[in-house]
Amino acid sequence: MSSLEMQASELVAKRYTLTELLGSLQRCIDHYYNRLYYVTGEVSGYRGRNQRGHCYFNLIDKVSDPLHPEAGGGELSAQISAVIWSSRYNQIAQHFQQVTGQPLTDGIKILALVELKYDPRYGLQLDVQDIDPSYTLGEVARQRRETLQLLERMGLMERNKQHPMPRPLRRIAIISSPTAAGYQDFTRHLEESAVAPFIEKALFRATMQGKSAPQSIVAALERVRQHETLFDLVVIIRGGGATADLGTFDDFAVARAVAEFSLPVWSGIGHDRDESVVDLVSHKAFKTPTAVATAVIDAWCAEYTLLEEAHQRLERSWLEARQTAQTGLERLAQLLRQTTLEQLHREERQMLLLREQLSVSPHTLLRNQHTLLESQRERLASAARYLPM
């Protein structure tokens, strides 16, 4: 065999079975990754415990677009399966929920203490030993802070507050779940009030908790926008709940949709913790749905009071105008009576004078006229003597 043929034979890959190759990979990982690691990532594909009590999910990383951070999400950059075995699931899950106020679920970013495992049958996997809940709390606070900073840069924090409130306030678009206790409280409080016959309301259904809640609320706002000329106000209401559920209202997409909406938006999310981002960008924020209903009632009552006061002022003005007109008419009638009496007296005196004149005999009148004419003739004759001849 030539030297060239010998070199070529050495380049031929050694043949392995799949079990042998993956077994070698397993031994390599066990040797070089034989300690615990802290790993950060986002929970995805969370399904809870299976029948054996184990919990399987994926831990993923995403890369956000630096030019468009407001888009949220990002492109998937890494993914690995993870498991919490039944022997420590209760301790990890209960501690996490106790500290953060929310259960493990999709979309949550965690800091997990893991051991890297590889099994030729099931592949590469993270064996979760523990989860640090303080990291998740810090991550939530960071995301909220970044959302507020982005809204501020976009000039959206005060935009919805600048909308004038329609008067009177009577047509309300409600974004809520029809089965939510908060929605029931809101409608009951309105219907039990005296202003109920004057309030028109329409429900735009939305999911108010869970992973799909932000998208559902934004979609409901868009449906309202398509009929915005029919409404004076939008209210977003939800009863109290876990911190995780209320995290929906810190979502950038929801907050932006509220801030940019063309009608005033009132929020009544039903929580006593710090204000949500939606609360901060809304036209007005209230602690509970019932408080929103009370504000609607108060707004209507205030408008009714203004209308009642205007009616009273109009009535007083009308009474004053009527009294002034009545006084003027009475004075005019009095003047008319006085003028008529004076005219009647003048006419009466004239008639008496004529009557006296008519009572003189025609002969006396003729004689008086004849005497007057003779007197005029004599004056003319006397004046004629001085005329030149």
What does the H/E/C string look like for the chain?
A: CCHHHHHHHHCCCCCCCHHHHHHHHHHHHHHHCCCEEEEEEEEECCCCECCCCCEEEEEEEEECCCCCHHHCCCEEEEEEEEEECHHHHHHHHHHHHHHHCCCCCCCCEEEEEEEEEEECCCEEEEEEEEEEHHHHHHHHHHHHHHHHHHHHHCCCCCCHHHCCCCCCCCEEEEEECCCCHHHHHHHHHHHCCCCHHHCEEEEEECCCCCCCHHHHHHHHHHHHHCCHHHCCEEEEECCCCCHHHHHHHHCHHHHHHHHCCCCCEEEECCCCCCCCHHHHHCCEEECCHHHHHHHHHHHHHHHHHHHHHHHHHHHHHHHHHHHHHHHHHHHHHHHHHHHHHHHHHHHHHHHHHHHHHHHCCHHHHHHHHHHHHHHHHHHHHHHHCCCCC
Residues 182 and 126 in one domain: no
Q: Give me 345's structure tokens.
A: 């007296």
CATH number at residue 130: 2.40.50.140
In a domain, 8, yes or no: no
Residues 139 and 240 in one domain: no
Domain limit, last residue, from 301, 317, 336: 301
Residues 114 and 79 in one domain: yes
Domain limit, last residue, from 301, 332, 360: 301
Residues 75 and 31 in one domain: yes
Rounded Cα–Cα distance for residues 172 and 195 (Å): 13
In a domain, 62, yes or no: yes
Residue indicated by tokens 């108060």: 298
Rounded Cα–Cα distance for residues 234 and 175 (Å): 7
Residues 135 and 247 in one domain: no
Count structural domains, the chain. Answer: 2
In a domain, 107, yes or no: yes
pLDDT at 316: 80
In a domain, 321, yes or no: no
Residues 107 and 164 in one domain: no
> Which residue type does 185 have?
D
Residues 174 and 282 in one domain: yes
Q: Are residues 282 and 267 in contact, defined by beta-carbon separation less than 8 angstroms?
A: yes
Cβ neighbourhood burial of 240 (10 Å; 0-12, 13-18, 19+): middle
Dihedral sign from CA coordinates of 289, 290, 291, 292: positive
Q: How many beta carbons lie within 10 A of that of residue 158, not counting itself?
A: 12
Task: Name the pairing type of β-strands 36-44 and 55-63.
Answer: antiparallel
State the residue range of the domain holding 261: 160-301
Which residues fall within 8 angstroms of residue 101, CB to CB, at 6 or more apart? 242, 243, 244
pLDDT at 269: 87
In a domain, 48, yes or no: yes
Residues 28 and 147 in one domain: yes
In a domain, 243, yes or no: yes
Q: Give me 308's structure tokens.
A: 């009642």
> Which residue type does 227 have?
H
> Which residue type does 34 have?
N
Per-block mean pLDDT, blocks of 10 residues, the chain (389 long): 56 81 90 91 91 94 63 77 94 91 86 93 93 89 90 95 89 92 91 88 91 92 94 89 71 95 92 80 93 90 74 79 84 86 83 72 71 79 68
pLDDT at 67: 47
Domain limit, last residue, from 131, 153, 175: 153
Residues 229 and 294 in one domain: yes
In a domain, 365, yes or no: no
Task: Name the pairing type of β-strands 55-63 and 75-84.
Answer: antiparallel
CATH number at residue 252: 3.40.50.9100
Residues 131 and 231 in one domain: no
Assess whether the previous peptide bond of 120 is cis (omega < 30° from 0).
no
In a domain, 55, yes or no: yes
Residues 52 and 111 in one domain: yes
pLDDT at 88: 94
Residues 183 and 278 in one domain: yes
